[in-house]
Structure 1
Amino acid sequence: MKECMWCNEEAAEHMTKTGYWELHDGTRALQIDEIPAVCCSSCGMEYHEDHVVEEIEDQLLLIDTKKLGKVVSFNELMATERFLKKNYFKFYN
């Protein structure tokens, strides 16, 4: 168990959830399965932690999204070959 960022109770657990992401160019959305998530049994909140969202956003910027199907798993997405090693447009840590 971990502390829920919404209700601050020690009732949150790590699991995976499905999420939907609109591509940066606005052409379509992807279904991403098995995204690391946190689910709280106290307040019922289910969320993706900020670092996971940032990983997905960066990856979608750095790959050829035209090669992705409508549905992809988180691990498949993160294993997709990048054009660049990192997001050089992010000027903060």
Structure 2
Amino acid sequence: MKCLWCENENAEQTARTGYWELPDGTRAVEITIIPSVSCPSCGMEYQEDHIVDEIEDQLMLIDTKKIDSSISFTDLMSIPRFLKKNYFKL
């Protein structure tokens, strides 16, 4: 896998924890086991854009009051949405 930062070919798929502010700005949540990329060459650890978009869309389309302070990526993505997709995204 190619690192987006240093372009080294030794980047690896991994899972990491991240923190997201809820769309209403009331608090942040810990999201665990997020599909991520880790590069041993430059040391960067990041989530690819499509994963970030999935998380942000999901947080926009669910009842975030029901989320505890920590949730796994899989559990977050399995929460039923109010709408099928984010119609607010331009």
Which category describes the TM-score, using the shorter chain as reference length? Answer: over 0.9
User: What one-letter code is carried by the residue in structure 2 that aligns with 1:13?
Assistant: E
* Unmatched segments (≥5 aa) in structure 1: none
Match of 2:61 in 1: 62
Instruction: Please give the alpha-carbon distance, in whole angstroms, between the structure 2 residues aligned to 1:5 and 1:71.
Output: 28
Match of 1:40 in 2: 39
Match of 1:22 in 2: 21
2:88 corresponds to 1:89? yes
User: What one-letter code is carried by the residue in structure 1 that aligns with 2:66?
Assistant: K
1:55-86 CA-partner distances (Å, limit 9, x unpaired): 00000000000000000000000000100000
- Tell me how far 1:90 sits from its aligned partner: 1.8
How many corresponding residue pairs? 90
Task: With the length of structure 1 as denominator, give the TM-score of the two structures.
Answer: 0.95
Where 1:89 maps in the other structure, the secondary structure is coil
1:39-62 CA-partner distances (Å, limit 9, x unpaired): 001111000000000000000000
* Unmatched segments (≥5 aa) in structure 2: none
User: What one-letter code is carried by the residue in structure 1 that aligns with 2:63?
Assistant: D
- Tell me how far 1:32 sits from its aligned partner: 0.2
Identity of counterpart residues, as a percentage? 63
User: What one-letter code is carried by the residue in structure 2 that aligns with 1:44?
Assistant: G
Q: CA RMSD in A?
A: 0.6
